[in-house]
Amino acid sequence: MCFSATASFSAGAALLVVGTVTARRTQRPVELPFALIPVLFGAQQLIEGGIWLTFTGEAPLLNSILTHVYSLFSHVLWPAYVPIAVLLLEADIWRRKALIAIALAGAVVALYLLYFLVRFPITSQVVGRHIVYVSPHFFAYASIGLYVLGTCVSMLFSRHWAVRLFGIAAFVSFVAAYAFYAAWFISVWCFFAAILSGIVLLQFPKQPETRSQTLSWRPRN
């Protein structure tokens, strides 16, 4: 698999298109946060494409800025955002209670990681054709557990099969990235998860035109 600026820009552009289509298919405002997940992943991949260019262009200041913006997505946004987006789709009381608890846990780990991003600035570098984000506090067992709970397990509590499918796919890719790309885990898993976010489109199938819409105009007798 080729990881490069081209791969990141291509994935980002494709996800923006998918996310736009998904968002347009929503029927209720509460569906929009989950529908926008591909858009957010697309933005994250475009940012990483920019990070790739800072290495060849020797732009350390821009590299630092983009690295921190990317890390706000990877470390802070996802564990807090995903369970809330899933929660808004659910009506069952027990599912909502479980997701509220998970959302609180996700918020805790997001704030924890945000603190360390500010206290100990993260850095990025290319090693073995992948970007390494040096963020040691991310790999603490407790933070990883809460992170997985927010980003993957939360979707398994949904009543919607497409949401659960995305959760399973995200978890499998998490384990695979950690097992085979441990040194580059953050970059690789975010790339996998971004591609898999196309599954979100399945949650919002194209709505067929109703007969009343097609026959909305009738001549008067």
- Is 51 domain-assigned? yes
CA–centroid distance for 94 within its chain = 25
DSSP, collapsed to helix, strand or coil, labels residue 115 as helix
- Is 214 domain-assigned? no
Which residues neighbour 178 within 8 Å (Cβ) at sequence distance 6 or greater? 185, 189
Strand-pairing partners, residue 124, are: 133
In terms of Cα–Cα distance, which of 165, 148, 143, 146 is closest to 156? 165
The pLDDT of residue 143: 84
By the 8 A CB rule, do 183 and 133 touch? no
- Is 66 domain-assigned? yes
* pLDDT of residue 160 exceeding 70: yes
Top-confidence residue, 139 or 218: 139
- Is 42 domain-assigned? yes
Instruction: State how far the Cα of 83 lies from the Cα of 98, in Å rounded to an integer.
Output: 10
Query: What's 145's DSSP letter?
Result: H
* Number of domains forming the structure of the chain: 1
The pLDDT of residue 134: 83
- Is 32 domain-assigned? yes
Least confident of 31-35, 80-84, 184-188, 189-193: 184-188
- pLDDT tens digits, 109-134: 999 999 988 888 888 888 877 888 88
What is the mean predicted confidence (pLDDT) over 208-214?
Answer: 47
Residue 38 half-sphere exposure toward CB, CA atoms < 13 A: 25
* pLDDT of residue 47 exceeding 90: yes
- Is 53 domain-assigned? yes
- Is 213 domain-assigned? no
Cβ burial 195-209 (10 Å sphere, 16+ → b, else e): bbbbbbbebbeeeee
- pLDDT tens digits, 9-39: 999 999 999 999 999 999 999 999 999 999 9
**Mean model confidence pLDDT for the chain:** 87
The pLDDT of residue 209: 55
* pLDDT of residue 41 exceeding 80: yes
- Is 211 domain-assigned? no
The pLDDT of residue 89: 96
Instruction: State how far the Cα of 159 lies from the Cα of 136, in Å rounded to an integer.
Output: 36
- pLDDT tens digits, 64-88: 999 999 999 999 999 999 999 999 9
Q: Sort 20 into a burial class: Cβ within 10 Å, 0-12 / 13-18 / 19+.
A: middle
Which residues neighbour 4 within 8 Å (Cβ) at sequence distance 6 or greater? 52, 129
Q: What are phi and psi of 164, to 5 degrees?
A: -65, -40
The pLDDT of residue 128: 77
* pLDDT of residue 141 exceeding 50: yes
Range of the domain at 11: 5-203
The pLDDT of residue 213: 44
